[in-house]
Amino acid sequence: MDEVAIVILNYNGKSFLEQFLPSVLTHSEDCPVYVADNHSTDDSLALLEGKFPSVHLIRLAANFGYAGGYNVALTQIDATYLLLLNSDVEVSSGWLAPLVQRMKANPRIAACQPKIRAFKKPHLFEYAGGAGGYIDYLGYPFCRGRVFDTVEEDRQQYDDAREIFWATGACLLVRSDVFFRLGGFDPRFFAHMEEIDWCWRAKNAGYQIWYCPESTVYHVGGGTLHKSNPRKTFLNYRNSLAMLYKNLPTGHVFLNILIRLILDGISGVRLLLAGNWRDTLAILQAHFTFYSWLPYLRKQRNALADLRNNRITHPQIYPHSIIWQYFVKGRKTFRELLGGKEY
């Protein structure tokens, strides 16, 4: 068994592999590097076989998305720790060791992430992970360093290692035994929110999720689906509702989801008035898909009852609405949300 295996999930990402895989191989610290290919239709496989013969290639039979793709690929890898890395991430010397050391120092840590900065604007935090993920009580995700579309400059204001609520799937180190014990990612999510859903399960099971500022990577973001793509809107809205239904404690699920449905409707109207009717349609489709999933989600919720009831609340869940704080009160940064204080 290897101690650490680096696993990159690829789907038609030849250009990203060509650009960023060399940095991973150079700075992988003798760890095996795997590329799990989600049935790409570009020349990714030819590139890997011709230019990167040291990479272990896992060929998947179909495009299973981020969630299903990793679920299938990781069963074929024998390692204590699994580093899930997006293909559009640049790493540098010494990026991996602090993450592994953090996990070794505390067996209760199920997963951790580095500092994520923007590849194209490296002085800024990156949208997808920043300095660690949180959610509010309605399930809206945000990060230290990024709240909605406000992305902060990294001035070392978030350089303290700390427990967070979720770690980004762009660069995610997990304990393999815990990952599989908790069922892996929910394959129905396909992409988006699956890492938050898994981290919520891990926290309900008594594990911790951490941010490790001693490690920094640089993420392009939007490599597979740009944020303006209605497909991304659909996945985010559908998966967010599913995640809430599965993980919210008894007594909160009905009211919280009702409020979310109303806020989603308001969001859809705003998008329609702005001329983004495809996104409005995507939100409607997300809601109807969520309703059709309810029998499946009910089984999932029942299966997770013991975990959920053991861990009703978490300090990393923001007890207010970031919608209200951001759009009404004008609080645009993580520290402003807390009135200048920290969790």
Q: What is the pLDDT of residues 173-228, one digit of tens each?
A: 999 999 999 999 999 999 999 999 999 999 999 999 999 999 999 999 875 666 67
164 shares its domain with 69: yes
Residue 342 has pLDDT above 80, yes or no: no
Nearest to 300 by CA among 234, 259, 244, 260: 244
Whether 333 is covered by a domain: the verdict is no
Residue 289 has pLDDT above 70, yes or no: yes
197 shares its domain with 250: no
Query: Residue 75 has what pLDDT?
Result: 97
Q: What is the CATH number of the domain that holds 74?
A: 3.90.550.10
Whether 19 is covered by a domain: the verdict is yes
Residue 160 has pLDDT above 90, yes or no: yes
Going across the sheet that includes 317-318, the strands are 150-151, 146-147, 141-143, 133-136, 317-318
Which domain-ending residue is among 160, 193, 219? 219
Which domain-ending residue is among 176, 198, 219? 219
208 shares its domain with 285: no
276 shares its domain with 307: yes
Whether 252 is covered by a domain: the verdict is yes
207 shares its domain with 247: no
Which residue range(s) make up the domain with 70?
2-219
201 shares its domain with 298: no
298 shares its domain with 206: no
Q: What is the pLDDT of residues 51-98, one digit of tens each?
A: 999 999 999 999 999 999 999 999 999 999 999 999 999 999 999 999
Distance, CA of 260 to CA of 256 (rounded, Å): 6
Whether 224 is covered by a domain: the verdict is no
Name the domain count of the chain: 2
128 shares its domain with 261: no
Nearest to 144 by CA among 220, 43, 96, 212: 212
Whether 319 is covered by a domain: the verdict is no
Q: Mutual orientation of helices 230-247 and 253-273 as an angle, nearest 10°?
A: 170
Judged by DSSP in three states, 83 sits in: strand
Nearest to 73 by CA among 167, 7, 168, 17: 7
Burial of 161 (0-12, 13-18, 19+ CB in 10 A): middle
22 shares its domain with 95: yes
- Percent of the chain at pLDDT above 90? 88
Give the least confident one: 43-52, 291-300, 311-320.
311-320
Query: Residue 250 has what pLDDT?
Result: 83
Residue bearing tokens 């074929």? 76
Residue 103 has pLDDT above 80, yes or no: yes
Query: Residue 214 has what pLDDT?
Result: 97
Look up residue 138 and give its two tokens: 């309605």
Query: Residue 159 has what pLDDT?
Result: 97
237 shares its domain with 213: no
Whether 328 is covered by a domain: the verdict is no
Confidence of residue 334 (pLDDT cuts 50, 70, 90): very high
Which domain-ending residue is among 219, 254, 278? 219
72 shares its domain with 207: yes
Whether 338 is covered by a domain: the verdict is no
Confidence of residue 120 (pLDDT cuts 50, 70, 90): very high
Top pLDDT among 122 and 225 is at 122
119 shares its domain with 155: yes
Whether 343 is covered by a domain: the verdict is no
